[in-house]
Chain A
Amino acid sequence: MASLKSIKKRIVSVKNTRQITKAMKMVSAAKLRRAQENVVAARPYAKKLGEVMQSLATNLEGDLHPLLEKRDAKKLLLIVITSDRGLCGGFNTNLCKAGDRYIKEKMNSYEQVSVLTVGRKGYEFLKSRYTVYKNFANVLAKPSYQTAAMLAQEVIDGFVAGEYDQVELLYNSFRTVMSQDITFQQLLPVEPEVTGASDETPVEYIYEPSVGELLAEILPKNIEVQIFKAMLETVAGEHGARMTAMDSASKNANEMIGKLTLQYNRARQAAITTELMEIISGSESIKG
């Protein structure tokens, strides 16, 4: 049996760990709330923009915008959004693994699959396997629209220049605090959702300037918003995942402390019993 001292030491160290995991859980809970608010706040904008785009796309005549152009998909760009920091359970690992599988699968049908990462964890995972041609780290601590816009610009430039024919986004979408969904989303070319023919009576809008020009402005915006939304959801998901992970870590620590305390008490009891035995047998032998 382990010595009393070493058990005591372990108890103390587990207690320290518990302290940390508890604190991290609280921090995540607070951050989660804020991140969740951000996600909710960004939703109306994304939704409205989508609606406007729909109504424009259905009214579009004439030339297609370059961002709508469908080419033979040969070169794929996958944008992987992960968190910068770990200790959030399988949040990043699961996403990276899904990405890894996806890339392997796509390697067969595409000539070239490039990877762009946002967040340190995804970069570290994927750089050893593929060439990550660009990484944006430390942008998620405070996700800003500017970052999303910058990233979107980069992607759009690459797409228009023909560096890739298809762009997909891989991120954890925020479903509930406990669960995040791994989501693949096609960014480019933009595919306007085909709404059913039973569309509500189409409203005749006055467009100023023309539909084409409006669409040309709104398409890149839409990509920015999609990326921004993905970033916000990743942040919310990260905190959610960390909170759950830290909660279960705290629970495990409690359990461990319980077990160790039991062991400690047993060991102490055993030590006392042995000492008593020694004393009794000692006094017995004196008597005898």
Chain B
Amino acid sequence: MAEKMKLEIVTPYKKVVDTEIEEVTATGKLGEFGVLPGHAPFLTSLKIGELVFKNNGVTEHMSLNWGYFEVCDDKIIVLVETAETASEIDIERAKAAQGRAEEALKKLTSEDKQFKVYEAALERAIIRMQVAGKAVRK
């Protein structure tokens, strides 16, 4: 039997996930990485991206905003600003957000203060749609 890890995903608003899992994959600042039970203590920051965890053969996709990922004694703590499961994502809203962000980016140059804000918004929207798409296919 495969060993299990405990996964907790916490946002400032609530604890989104608190469950046992077998495997998790997330997008770190330096690239995607996976964690299996027995991993050494590990701390990294996450990018806007996707987090996938598996438990009993069920795969769950989530879209995460900026955050932290900590592994310690087979306990994983993820601190993020927002976290949504694939089924929670509002595709229409994400599309609208993407449209808005693209519009805004066209008008701005990379020197503007707002540029980064919209860039991040665009990234978030794209990831959301990606993750949501996976929920439909399942």
Count of residues in A whose CB is under 8 Å from the partner chain = 25
**In the assembled complex, which residues on chain B have CB atoms less than 8 Å from the CB atom of A45?**
10-12, 79
Per-residue A-contact encoding for B24-62, CB less than 8 Å = 1, 0 else: 000011100000000011111100000000000000000
Given contacts A45-B11, A45-B79, A208-B28, contact A218 B68 (CB under 8 A): yes
A12 within 8 Å of B (CB atoms): no
What residues on A are CB-neighbors of B14 within 8 Å? 41
Per-residue A-contact encoding for B10-22, CB less than 8 Å = 1, 0 else: 1111110000000
Of chain A, the residue at the smallest CB distance from B82 is: A145
* Interface assignment of B81: CB less than 8 Å from any CB of chain A: yes
Q: How distant is the Cα of A44 from the Cα of B15 in the complex, in angstroms?
A: 8
Q: Is A205 an interface residue (CB 8 A)?
A: yes
Partner of A208, one of B11, B44, B81: B44
The answer, among A42, A203, A209, A213, for a CB contact under 8 Å with B12, is: A42
Instruction: Determine the chain B residues whose CB is within 8 A of the CB of A55 once the complex forms.
Output: 43
B70 within 8 A of A: yes
Contact with A along B69-87 (1 / 0, CB 8 A): 0101000010101000000
User: Known contacts A48-B79, A49-B79, A209-B29; is A203 also within 8 Å of B41 by CB?
Assistant: yes
CA distance in complex: A269, B72 (Å): 81
- CB of A225 within 8 Å of the partner chain: yes
Q: Is the CB of A38 within 8 A of B45?
A: no
Is the pair A41, B45 in contact by a Cβ cutoff of 8 Å?
no
B12 near A225 (CB under 8 angstroms)? Answer: yes
Tell me whether B42 and A208 are in contact (CB under 8 A): yes
- Alpha-carbon distance between A167 and B36 when the two chains are bound, in angstroms: 42
Q: A214–B70 Cα gap in the complex (Å)?
A: 12
Residues of chain A contacted by B77 (CB below 8 angstroms): 48
CA distance A55 to B40 in the complex (A): 16
Query: Could you say which residues of chain A place their CB within 8 Å of the CB of B10?
Result: 44-45, 48
CA–CA, A44 to B79, complex, Å?
10
Contact between B68 and A41 (Cβ–Cβ < 8 Å)?
no
Whether A208 pairs with B15 at a CB distance below 8 angstroms is: no
| Inter-subunit contact A209/B15 (CB<8 Å) | no
Residues of chain A having any CB pair with chain B under 8 Å: 38, 41-42, 44-46, 48-49, 52, 55-56, 145, 203-209, 213-214, 217-218, 225, 228
Q: Can you identify 10 A-B contacts, CB atoms within 8 angstroms?
A: A41-B12, A48-B77, A52-B70, A205-B43, A206-B43, A208-B44, A209-B29, A214-B44, A218-B68, A225-B12
Nearest 9 CB-CB pairs, A to B?
A208-B44, A41-B14, A205-B41, A206-B42, A45-B10, A203-B41, A205-B43, A45-B12, A145-B12
